[in-house]
Amino acid sequence: MYSPAHHTRALSIRHPHLITTSDVDTILTFCNVERLDVITVGCRDARISLAPLHGLFPILNSLYLSFISLPDSEIFSLICSFPLLEDLTLVSLGRGHRDEQWNAPPTSPRFNGTLKVETVFEGVRSITHRLLDLPNGIHFTKIAVSWLSGEDVRSTMDLVAGCADTLQFLDIANHGSGALPSLLPIPD
Partner 1 sequence: MTGIDLSQAANLRDVVFRCGRLRARWISETLHTIGPKNLQRLSLELSHCSVIEDTTWETVHPEWLDLDSLLVPFWVSRSLRLKVINTPGKGEEGVRDRVAKFLPELTRRGIADLVQCVE
- The residues that touch partner 1, with contacts defined as CB under 8 A, are 144, 147, 149-150, 153, 156-157, 160-161, 163-177, 179, 181-187
Q: 89: Cβ–Cβ under 8 A, 6 or more apart, which residues? A: 62, 63, 64, 65, 114, 115, 116, 117, 118
Identify which of residues 104 and 170 has a Cβ nearer to partner 1 in the complex.
170
Identify which of residues 74 and 152 has a Cβ nearer to partner 1 in the complex.
152
Identify which of residues 84 and 161 has a Cβ nearer to partner 1 in the complex.
161
Identify which of residues 57 and 147 has a Cβ nearer to partner 1 in the complex.
147
Q: How far is the CB of 183 from partner 1 (least distance, A)?
A: 6
Q: How far is the CB of 14 from partner 1 (least distance, A)?
A: 26
**In Å, what is the CA distance from 69 to each residue of 12, 26, 47, 73?**
19, 28, 8, 11
- Cβ(118)–Cβ(90) below 8 Å: yes
Identify which of residues 36 and 163 has a Cβ nearer to partner 1 in the complex.
163
Separation of alpha carbons 121 and 125, rounded Å:
12
Q: How far is the CB of 117 from partner 1 (least distance, A)?
A: 14
Q: How far is the CB of 89 from partner 1 (least distance, A)?
A: 16
Q: How far is the CB of 145 from partner 1 (least distance, A)?
A: 10
Separation of alpha carbons 12 and 109, rounded Å:
20
Identify which of residues 25 and 165 has a Cβ nearer to partner 1 in the complex.
165
Q: Residue 15 — left, alpha, or beta (φ > 0 → left; ψ -120 to 50 → alpha)?
A: left
Q: What is the DSSP string of 95-106?
A: ---TTS--PPPS
Q: How far is the CB of 86 from partner 1 (least distance, A)?
A: 17
- Cβ(26)–Cβ(50) below 8 Å: no
